Amino acid sequence: MPTGATIGPPHVPEVGRGCQYPTPSILAPVAALRPIVEIEDVTRIYRKGGAEIRPLDHVTLHIEAGEFVALMGPSGSGKTTLLNLLAGLDRPSSGTVRVCGLDLAKLSARELARWRADHVGFVFQSFNLLPVLTARQNVELPLTLQPLSRAARRAHAEAALRCVGLGDRMDHRPAELSGGQEQRVAIARALACDPQLLVADEPTGDLDAAAAHDVLLLMKRLNEEFGKTIIIVTHDPHVAEFARRELHLEKGVLQMERRR
């Protein structure tokens, strides 16, 4: 997010460098077409007591910058595994994962952690807010990894909270918020470092229909107004209606996709 008190478009981040490609004017149309996520022939294998589990099996997938993608499929089909790989939380057993043109396998664990902090915002089903911290403090937490003054951290956190419609709840702790508000704090936290990529694993799974709808509208706005690339894992076909592309996984294989 830019240093000012509002969330700005992602091409002018001051803190985070974001995940922008250099786009000199003559190259801009080419750069705009370049995928932000390039998954090439990726397989993930777990071995447990002699048995082999293969949650992803030779998956190839490209996602363009600025897309809003819903990743669907039955329980155990590999959705979270795929999300974790493209967000740099896990590494493939074989194949390549490139994000923003960078082959994540080339990064050490420490570099990968740093890269994640700068480039990916995470939203989880269970919000994962720290109960003893206020909304503002929860959002400020990832900003402590950035070279920012305390005042700048506060300004960023407040801007992110205003962006998700919680300007009047900044001093509330999670227990003093509704589920929908908690998830919006979590989204503000994910946005705080102005990542280009926002990944969400069943973000509406614990919400009632109205709160889920608000969270999805917010994600749609982040995609359309701020150009965030959003990848959302869901079981809910209604959730997928907000996305412009639906991907379906079955037993670790991409089976089908639909574009709107």
Q: For residue 22, give both structure tokens.
A: 């250099």
- CA-wise closest residue to 186 among 175, 195, 176, 174: 174
Residues contacting 181, CB < 8 A, separation 6+: 166, 169, 172
| Number of amino acids touching Mg ion (CB under 5 A) | 1
Under the binding rule (CB under 5 A), the answer on residue 137 touching Mg ion is no
- Of the ranges 79-87, 109-117, 190-198, 240-248, which one interacts with ligand ATP (CB under 6 A)? 79-87
Q: Do 203 and 226 touch, CB atoms closer than 8 A?
A: no
- Of the ranges 1-9, 18-26, 74-82, 175-183, which one interacts with ligand ATP (CB under 6 A)? 74-82
Name the E strands within 90-177: 94-99, 102-103, 120-124
- Residue nearer to ligand ATP on the CB measure, 6 or 128: 128
Nearest distance in Å: CB 230, Mg ion = 17
- Residue nearer to ligand ATP on the CB measure, 23 or 80: 80
Q: Is 200 left (phi over 0), alpha (psi -120 to 50) or beta?
A: beta
- From 24, 33, 49, 75, residue interacting with ligand ATP (rule: CB under 6 A): 75
- CA-wise closest residue to 244 among 12, 38, 67, 62: 67
- From 77, 134, 138, 223, residue interacting with ligand ATP (rule: CB under 6 A): 77
Show contacts with Mg ion in window 62-81 (CB under 5 A). 80
d(CA 169, CA 157): 12
- From 46, 60, 101, 260, residue interacting with ligand ATP (rule: CB under 6 A): 46
For strand 102-103 and strand 229-233, is the pairing parallel, antiparallel, or unpaired? unpaired
| Number of amino acids touching ligand ATP (CB under 6 A) | 12
Q: Find the residue with minimal CB distance to Mg ion.
A: 80
- From 23, 80, 126, 146, residue interacting with ligand ATP (rule: CB under 6 A): 80
- CA-wise closest residue to 199 among 166, 223, 224, 167: 223
Q: Do 87 and 197 touch, CB atoms closer than 8 A?
A: yes
Under the binding rule (CB under 5 A), the answer on residue 146 touching Mg ion is no
Under the binding rule (CB under 6 A), the answer on residue 55 touching ligand ATP is yes
Show contacts with ligand ATP in window 180-239 (CB under 6 A). none
Nearest distance in Å: CB 205, ligand ATP = 9
Applying CB under 6 A, which residues contact ligand ATP? 46, 48, 53, 55, 73, 75-81
